Each structure stands twice: as structure tokens, then as C-alpha cells.
């Protein structure tokens, strides 16, 4: 089984990626970095994304972790496309990053994260960025 994480160039996305890489190394499983493209990206865009992912992993101290980038396209529903990509990946765990929230914020959970929690068929581990 593999461990999947969505690529997001945000603080919570970077924390999730590093956590997923550490978990994959500990479990001796493959790390799958998933990303939904806005439109048909050129090879240069994908290569820039690969470099960005490697930089995040290097900065997180897990640069030696083997990983694979898988991309998908959406037709207006990014979360639905990500759900499909997670399902197609064969991952046994999906790691998602989340912002720290107030009690009211927790009640009104971020809509995209809420959809992922409801629609992804594999266990989801939600990690928060450190304080």
C-alpha cells in the first residue's frame, strides 16, 4: 500500500507532505504526491512542481524519501477530481493538511476538507501546521 498526499504550496500543505513522507519511510511504503491541474500543464510546469516537492521534502529533512508525482485534471470540481485520483492511486492512507482553527472554525470545517473526509474511501490522517 502507498501513502498519498495532495500537493499544495501552502504551510499546511508542506506540513502534510513532510508528515506523509516520514510516515511512508517509517512504514516502508511508497509516497504518492497527488496534484490536480487547472488545465493541460506543460512538461515545464510538471517539472517545476517536481522541483518544488523535492525542495519541501529536503527542507523537511526527508529529501531521501522516494516519491512519485501523479496528476489529474478537473472540469470544475477540483475536490471531486482529487477524490477520484486518491481512489485510482490505490493508496491505503491519505494525509491532508489543515489550518489550526478556533472552536467555531472546527464546527464550520473547511468545505474542501469536509468533502474529502466524506468522499475518500481510504483512511484520512489530518495534520495541522505547528503553532
* Mean local confidence (pLDDT), 87-104: 83
What CA–CA distance (Å, rounded) separates 79 from 6? 11
Structural domain for 109, as ranges: 2-128
Question: What is the number of structural domains in the chain?
Answer: 1
- Rounded to a whole number of angstroms, the distance between the first and last alpha carbons of the chain is 31
What pLDDT, in 10s, does the model give residues 51-77?
999 999 999 999 888 999 999 888 888
Q: List the CATH number of the domain containing 117.
A: 3.40.50.620
Enter the DSSP assignment of 90.
Answer: T
Does pLDDT of 125 surpass 90?
yes
Question: What is the chain's mean pLDDT, rounded?
Answer: 86
DSSP string, 13-71: HHHHHHHHHHHHHHHT-EEEEEEEESS---HHHHHHHHHHHHHHHHHTT-TT--EEEEE
DSSP state of 78: H
Average pLDDT value for residue range 27-31: 95
Comparing 108 with 118, the larger pLDDT belongs to 118
Q: What is the pLDDT of residue 98?
A: 84
| pLDDT attached to residue 39 | 66
Q: Find, among 20, 11, 41, the residue nearest to 122 by Cα.
A: 20
76 phi and psi, to 5 degrees? 105, -15
Amino acid at each position: 500500500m502507498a501513502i498519498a498526499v495532495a500537493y499544495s504550496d501552502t504551510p499546511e500543505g508542506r506540513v502534510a507532505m513532510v508528515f506523509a513522507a516520514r510516515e511512508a519511510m517509517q512504514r516502508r511504503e511508497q509516497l504518492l504526491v497527488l496534484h490536480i491541474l487547472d488545465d493541460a500543464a506543460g512538461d515545464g510546469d510538471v517539472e517545476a512542481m517536481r522541483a518544488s516537492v523535492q525542495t519541501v521534502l529536503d527542507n523537511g529533512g526527508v529529501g531521501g524519501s522516494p516519491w512519485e508525482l501523479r496528476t489529474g485534471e478537473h472540469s470544475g470540481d477540483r475536490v471531486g477530481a482529487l477524490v477520484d485520483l486518491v481512489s485510482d492511486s490505490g493508496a491505503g492512507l491519505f494525509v491532508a493538511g489543515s489550518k489550526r482553527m478556533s472552536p467555531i472554525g472546527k464546527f464550520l470545517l473547511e468545505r474542501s476538507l469536509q468533502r474529502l473526509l466524506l468522499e475518500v474511501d481510504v483512511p484520512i490522517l489530518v495534520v495541522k501546521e505547528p503553532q
